[in-house]
Structure 1
């Protein structure tokens, strides 16, 4: 008999597996993330058009270890869109939950305009 229980709010990766996954995501973020914002329980990410396959792989991998998250991938004229939504009960921890998907603040320069360092880390307008 199938259970209708929601997935536990926990990642199923070991610490070593998470470290490897985070490194892979950091590489994708460094090369392809154009902008991001967190709105409540949802992270909205915009990647370069040529990152579609890598973003699809990211979604597939994250779905397998974080079943409590929902993913919606799309395409716009600006790039590949990815929205990741967590359950409402984790809203107060959303920024921490999505932190491994976002850029570090020190390493990104705005290449779309005046070459200012962005505090959020985006390489494009947020």
Structure 2
């Protein structure tokens, strides 16, 4: 899988993209469960102790890729992070889902 899965509409400078991908990979290492609830939505269950980092990363990612919608809720004692994209960006969600399943 390509390391540059960011869409062309991303405004994050290209030089900063590997750092952002590394941040996502660190977060994805904590994913307890990932479930696709439709082609445009992915739910990630995370332990409560990474919630602040997940919210911060979601906020910053929304600034450069405004098509992302992130919502947070709870799943028992854990955090549910829902990632939604428009149909034109399903490939980005596919890449995120694949990265969540990669061994670290």
Above 0.5 in TM-score?
yes
For residues 40-76 of structure 1, give each alpha carbon's deviation from its aligned partner in whole angstroms, at most 9, with x where no partner exists. 1111111111111111111111111111121111122
Query: Normalising by structure 1, what TM-score?
Result: 0.65
1:57-68 superposed matches below 5 A: 57-68=56-67
Larger radius of gyration: 1
- For 1:33, the equivalent position in structure 2 comes to 31
- For 2:11, the equivalent position in structure 1 comes to 12
Compute the RMSD of aligned alpha carbons: 2.0
- For 1:97, the equivalent position in structure 2 comes to 92
1:10 to partner: Cα distance: 1.9
1:40-59 superposed matches below 5 A: 40-59=39-58
Measure, in 2, the Cα distance between the counterparts of 1:37 and 1:11.
25
Runs of 4 or more, structure 1, over 6 Å off, are none
Q: How many residues align?
A: 94
1:12 to partner: Cα distance: 1.1
Query: Normalising by structure 2, what TM-score?
Result: 0.77
1:25 to partner: Cα distance: 0.9
Instruction: Give unmatched runs, 5+ long, in structure 1.
Output: 1-8, 109-126
